[in-house]
A and B are shown apart, each in its own frame.
Chain A
Amino acid sequence: MKFTSERCSVVSNQPITSTGLAERIGSGFFDPVPAIRPYLVEKGVLVLVALDLWLLRLGSASRYEPEEMSIAHFSWLDAWFPVPSAALYIGVCVLVGFLAWAIAVAELGRWWKGLLVLLYTYCWAMSRLDSYQHHYLLSWVLLCIVFFPPLRSADLFPSRAEGARLSKRKASGQPWRPCVSAWAWVLLGWFVAIVYFWTSVTKLEPVWLSGACLQQLSGAVSLMVPIQEAFAVLGMDKKTFWQLVASGTIVVELLLAAGYLLAPWQDRSGKRSVRWFCWACGLLAVGLHLGFELAGLKIGWFSFYMIGLACISFCPEGWLWPLGKVIGAAINQLDQCCGRGEPSAEQAKVSPPWIVAACLAGGILIAAGWWVDLPGALPACLIAAVALLVGLAVGIRERQDILNGRVLAALVLAALVLVLSVFSSGARSQFYTYRLAQLQRRGEFTAAGQVASLAEAYVEEDDLYGHFNLARFYAVCPTESLRDPAKAVAYATRACELCDYRNVSALDVLACAFASKGDFHQALQYLRQAKLLLRGKPSSGLLADLENHQQLFSQGRPLVQMPAYRYGADSTDSPAQP
């Protein structure tokens, strides 16, 4: 463990005479901060990134199809890199997750973090289909993390004896709470401040200020109804209330921007006002982002990243050390179990047990890739396994501990988390049922038939869209050998159950399923039910579809789908020949 002999003296708190504000701010970037804050941000962001990719983004990979139009965020990506496919996207997601996990647990160095930034950025930048701003934001957050000082759990949370040796404060009963000069941590805070600033500027538009945007969010409306009613009692009309909420959001975001600028100073400054302001900002940030979540905005895990960042940035330092201690203890324990510690020259040499362990870890990675059963996952796991073996080979040649036990343990752990994430998230259900619908849309029915069996194997009990797609395929597939009315009715019935028979498309597909079975009476009954749901609503393509289907079924003809659109020919859903 290497420590400087210095203490955490704070330059920016000392009176500055001739240097001016710029230098004062500059020194503020380099002044020490409690090591726990960047440590927790690094661990938290890395683990969240891995879980975010595996739980949320693997399932949506089916949107990436080389056959479809493709446009990357940067034109040079289109020129230099292959057209994104589901396999490529999943492969990159799996690798980024492994890397994030390994960096968090095995505490790998800066170059690995740099590689993570590049791969993560490629993951969203490969196609504009991923236009979530928080993925872009995360790339910058990860870039800041690259420049965090190396924060090893063993340094922050040394064993009792080690801690006493390192610090007289420890021996005198004071807790071991080191600090670090972490300019990138301060920069991260300033970057987030800039993001909040621009977000608030966005909301200065008249449409936002009128409160109309907020009222468009049904979740926000239901959330605010009790408050609005309370204000109504005080005589405030609905319009003024929503204008107030809209303007209030801008004020909160500006306050948060100021809070993030000041956050690094809360530990250095003795000023109570700064600390109170930061705590208030922490509460505001949590309230704002919880509000976004409760309003039902579909913004992935953005709120959770921002809540986590706010808690770590604004909470009193004393609250963070116990949390860090739990994480640090787990990593240190792993370190001890894997026999790394501070390796002696002899230990550092690669020994036969390590070779066996590395091969075993590689095998587990490959097994995970196979078990996940998504295109691109197995090649990604193979790449990770090969990287392990290359590390092992270089270690043997150089007689160095390049591949330590903690890296092996981290990757094995990552493989297990990947499998658990995929099994628990319904990613395969989403992936295969969407892929089925896509193939069906393009008229590739044979391929769709192959995917349908996978979709059936993985469809989640509560996946409405998945059941709908399966039902539609089995009901209207033009290839007779692939059509299966019994399955169509079963899947369509489940889809309708999931939406409580209140979804027009689900009822329509149930009608089509019964028609494919020859039960036109039942089919017409469900069509009537679907039309009732559309009563009073503006005329739409959906109603026209229902009427077309009704006409067919009245004539005793089931619906058989043709490819929705083929270049060079007009074709839509068309009836089967009687």
Chain B
Amino acid sequence: MSSRKKSRTKHAGLAERPLIAAPPEGSVRRRTEWFILLFLIVHLLIPLRWYVGRSVGAEVDERFCWRMFSAVSMQRCQISLWETVESEGQLRERPLPFPTIVSPAWNEHLIKYHQPAVVEKLLREHCRKTSARKVLYHRVGTWSDGSPVEVYQRTVQCRE
């Protein structure tokens, strides 16, 4: 008997074994099939969110997109925060000590993951806690190969 035939004989053994959980039947089977199909389609589509979002210029982050070790996540970035305040009847823009405004954990998060929703929340929180007129988030950085990353800037008008 050739080795190929031997192999077939050995694995045909699966059919000889006892089955301790039978496949679903009838309507349960049909529902299960739909669930499987839906599950697979959802997982194929969710990561598209990042690619489609980027192509139409939307602000998207990499969550749920299986972008492990992406070039984006390996950017080296610097963040600065500026607020516009009214002082003696005049508007004055001044830098904020960003690393000490948020906890080190959020600080690390903002540098490591670029999530526009977190930036928005940070700026809104600052607006809520201070009398600033306007607050600006500025992010610059470089890609792994040293080329500059497109500057990201977000401004929130706290009050008129």
Interface-facing stretch out of A200-208, A307-315, A328-336: A200-208
Q: Is A430 an interface residue (CB 8 A)?
A: no
The distance in angstroms between the C-alpha atoms of A6 and B9, with both chains bound, is 20
CB < 8 Å neighbour of B144 from A10, A213, A438: A213
Who on chain B is nearest to A65 by CB?
B103
Least Cβ–Cβ distance between B120 and chain A, in angstroms? 9
Most buried by B among A176, A195, A202, A565: A202
Task: Assess the A182–B21 pair: CB atoms within 8 A.
Answer: yes
CB < 8 Å neighbour of B23 from A30, A140, A203, A267: A30
Least Cβ–Cβ distance between B129 and chain A, in angstroms? 5
Task: Assess the B17–A178 pair: CB atoms within 8 A.
Answer: yes
- Neighbouring B residues of A199 by C-beta, 8 Å: 66-69
- Neighbouring B residues of A150 by C-beta, 8 Å: 21
- Neighbouring A residues of B105 by C-beta, 8 Å: 63, 68, 129
User: Which of chain B's residues 1-31 have a Cβ closer than 8 Å to chain A?
Assistant: 3-4, 7-12, 14-24, 29
- Neighbouring A residues of B130 by C-beta, 8 Å: 567-568
CB < 8 Å neighbour of A198 from B10, B63, B65: B65
Task: Assess the A213–B74 pair: CB atoms within 8 A.
Answer: yes
CB < 8 Å neighbour of B145 from A166, A190, A207, A572: A207
The distance in angstroms between the C-alpha atoms of A215 and B145, with both chains bound, is 9
CB < 8 Å neighbour of B17 from A8, A26, A437, A564: A8
- Neighbouring B residues of A565 by C-beta, 8 Å: 96-97, 100-101
Least Cβ–Cβ distance between A8 and chain B, in angstroms? 5
Q: Is A107 an interface residue (CB 8 A)?
A: no
Interface-facing stretch out of A91-99, A227-235, A268-276, A389-397: A268-276
Total interface residues in chain B, CB < 8 Å? 63
Q: Is B102 an interface residue (CB 8 A)?
A: yes
Report the contact-size class of chain A (Cβ under 8 Å from the partner): 35 or more
- Given A35-B20, A71-B118, A179-B20, are A10 and B103 neighbors across the interface (CB < 8 Å)? no
Least Cβ–Cβ distance between B50 and chain A, in angstroms? 9
Q: Is B154 an interface residue (CB 8 A)?
A: no
Task: Assess the A128–B18 pair: CB atoms within 8 A.
Answer: no
Task: Assess the A3–B145 pair: CB atoms within 8 A.
Answer: no
A-B contacts besides A32-B17, A35-B21, A150-B21, 5 pairs, CB < 8 Å: A169-B16, A187-B40, A207-B71, A213-B69, A567-B130
Using a CB–CB cutoff of 8 Å, the interface residues on chain B facing chain A are 3-4, 7-12, 14-24, 29, 32-33, 36, 39-40, 43-44, 47, 63-71, 74, 96-97, 100-106, 109, 113, 115, 117-118, 121-122, 125, 129-131, 143-147
Q: Which 7 A-B pairs have the closest CB atoms?
A: A270-B8, A149-B21, A63-B105, A564-B100, A212-B145, A181-B23, A30-B23
- Pull 23 A–B residue pairs with CB atoms less than 8 Å apart, ordered by A: A4-B22, A7-B15, A7-B16, A7-B18, A63-B105, A68-B103, A69-B125, A131-B63, A149-B20, A149-B21, A151-B20, A169-B16, A169-B18, A177-B17, A179-B18, A198-B67, A207-B74, A207-B143, A213-B69, A270-B8, A272-B3, A297-B69, A567-B130
